[in-house]
A and B are shown apart, each in its own frame.
Chain A
């Protein structure tokens, strides 16, 4: 066990843990940040995704010691301080994306990192960029629509999104 300092969603934490422990378990069990979820523990599904240095990272295979000091963002940290949702989150609601929703942390975080990198992705780039993030309720069609919607929201600034996209 050793003390490790982490910066998550703009706050600092110190945890006394086995430094090889995957970040996922520290976030969920010690920091109470349960947006990232366990899906495979193998880096294959994306359910555990967090954003570190702009990249979507699979926290289930990331030893905590390798990310000390880096700014980590989880799903809980996407919205603004005043509670306003990130455009990707708003687009997810407008488009009514989730079925069960279990995978959607990974979908949202991966989409956010994708749009940060490429604010106006083509359909092919969306498919390619999201391809390793799995959904077993098969909400892919709506996710892709929501990413296109989020790209527009980001480009044009926030609009209120009450209506359901058909």
Chain B
């Protein structure tokens, strides 16, 4: 089983049969060659013949390239109907394990009128799937689902016309169900999709100025007519993930493939002085040390040899003259005192200044103020970065788990100075994307090394490398001030955020990925960075919101490289915003849920997306699911070892609205926090697959919990010191809540409005978790934690100071 994901099962089975007759090593060599060449052939013919047909066809020949973009204005680029009336869909998305692919199959099968299990889906191979940009921003279903639905509807329309011609009956007298078109008046007269077009091309041209606008002339079905959308077919990718048969990007092999490992600078910002190649020359299988600027890699025949060589290579580095970082302990003082690189205009519906916050604060009956800190956090995917690149035929094929496979293709072409059509990326499944692979460092490295060596190269980062050098979510520090009148109404809110978002690396940019930075290739200016203020619908008459960006002393070649980490700034800003709302509720002596509802219901005017009405609905739904007991926080501190409490936080992300309630147990002897129960009410509009959404939210909630309780990138003045799962702890099985309740809300309370479209569900739920937990800890103990994460030691110290 040395094959790739896109290989038809029949071929895999055929290869399997060889195993008994060939020696293992020969088998690998031969089958590797067979498979790589076939994978190209299978995919290029797949658009015409489909998997079943191509498997039975004549021997494979390699597709030598070039690999021009599939034309999104051709129906055949999206949908192939096979002779057996099954369909294969081709979409330019990738799936991070949230069931995106299953969702697309549901949407497209529904419009095409074909059973879900008679469909198949190919994603993210740049030469055979149209460029929908891959994944990012939780927009797969929300944005890219629309053209996918429209092309499926168009295919159905064309098939009905063909049936009409074949059966001699007007289209309006035909019915279609599950790929069979029948004459309404005489159901014995029928024809199947396969009979009409199986194995042949549609040759239908679509219109649209860009891929998102792609359309035929067919109309979409009204939501009420959708049958597969709203059901929960099991995710098609799961069986192969469970039985070991899935071929991941980590599994990619090619004949003659060699293994590379990177050797990173000893400390951040170090300059390469010299390499002593004799230190590794004796290692069996050693091929080469490749270096340019401060980028260094070793290449060996076998993987374990490359690991050994990377460890053993003697490199002389010169440390930078000045410290690269404040330490992680001093980070927030540094950020508060640094000179901002820019002040950001917020990008929300609310203006930066409303009313007269200064006057309102000056005349308020009570003014409260608080500062919050949120550290750098890494992606620290379970599997470190990896990719395999094959330079055969003067082209470059990259097997990668890059969520933005199309951007990787363009970026690599530019990086290597190759024509774009000579590069293709074949996306395969990998460890959590969540923004990490939007700039696929390993993909660039593999391609560079493959070009240097002239053989296929597999790059695999090591654990210490990934944890220290992966892309980071930016640290934030906040200062909030709020004014209350004598009745406890919020009259003013001032929000000041500082984010270490300077020099954000973007998406597969050929001058910001790590290898480019280390080689000294970089843009003229670092990206300025930025962030939005908290997204909530509270009615507060006087407000000021300011976000400032600060940079670290070391700007380039830094392991504190900022990038998008699952809702790039949401957990940070919502931690500050929703902790502070709680602090104001305490000052007003009002139940925190009641306090939020008052702020949400202070207006009766609808906004465009009904966010206000939907916010109220999710807050109420969370309260009902939890069984909220109305009372101000904190509750009287108990006498036992375990103190318990509950907290709420709410926010929205684009059009998705979320409210979360955490119930915590605080061990006053150890400082350990256990979040015993989490409730999340979640409104993301139309839901395509409720069970898949539920699980995505569950994982997202616990991801938020991990970031709240444990995650912090630690560093001294010269390097990141978080390098493995001991120095960078993560949530574990023993931390899992005893109960997680996800309430899927359709929160628009007005039945006269049109149905909501689907909105993103991949990120919103991670935003309020830290605040909900902090608010619950306050409720339990009367101690306010204003710095994430809440590791035992920090919690215990705070409890001691407060004499709890």
Which residues of A are in contact with B by a Cβ distance under 8 Å? 1, 13, 15, 18, 21-22, 25, 28-35, 37-42, 44-45, 47, 74-76, 78-79, 85, 89, 92-93, 96-105, 108, 123, 126-128, 130-144, 162, 164, 166
Contacts and interface: CB of A to CB of B under 8 A. Distances in A.
Interface string B681-695: 000000000011011
A35 B245 CA distance: 8
A75 to B, nearest CB: 4
Contacts of A85: 242-243
5 contacts: A25-B302, A39-B383, A100-B431, A102-B432, A164-B232
Nearest to A130: B733
B733 A144 contact: yes
A44 B703 contact: no
Residue in B382, B705, B738 with the greatest tally of chain A CB atoms within 10 Å? B382
A98 B731 contact: no
Interface string B182-223: 000000000000000000000000000000000000000000
Contacts of A102: 248, 381-383, 429-432
Interface in B660-700: 691-692, 694-696, 698-700
Interface stretch (B143-151, B575-583, B722-730): B722-730
Contacts of B384: 38-39
Interface string B707-737: 0000000000000000011100011111111
B383 A34 contact: no
B2 interface: yes
Contact of B237 (A78, A101, A144): A101
Contacts of A144: 733, 736
Contact of A39 (B1, B382, B703): B382
Given A100-B432, A102-B431, A164-B691, A134 B732 contact: yes
A38 B24 contact: no
B243 A45 contact: no
A98 B248 CA distance: 14
Interface string B357-381: 0000000000000000000000011
Contact of B734 (A41, A47, A127): A127
Contacts of A45: 382, 725
B438 to A, nearest CB: 15
Contacts of A37: 248, 250, 383
Interface in B739-761: 740
B243 A89 contact: yes
A126 B244 contact: no
Given A29-B302, A99-B699, 5 more contacts: A76-B244, A102-B383, A103-B431, A136-B380, A138-B703
A18 B304 contact: yes
A42 B463 contact: yes
Given A93-B238, A99-B696, A141 B740 contact: yes
A76 B243 CA distance: 6
Given A13-B24, A25-B303, A99-B97, A44 B726 contact: yes
A164 B245 CA distance: 22
A16 B740 CA distance: 50
Contact of A98 (B25, B28, B241): B241
A20 B430 CA distance: 28
B284 A1 contact: yes
B241 A104 contact: yes
Nearest to B239: A93
A47 B432 CA distance: 14
Given A76-B243, A89-B243, A136-B730, A96 B238 contact: yes
Nearest to A138: B702
Contacts of B574: none
Contacts of A25: 302-304
A32 B97 contact: no
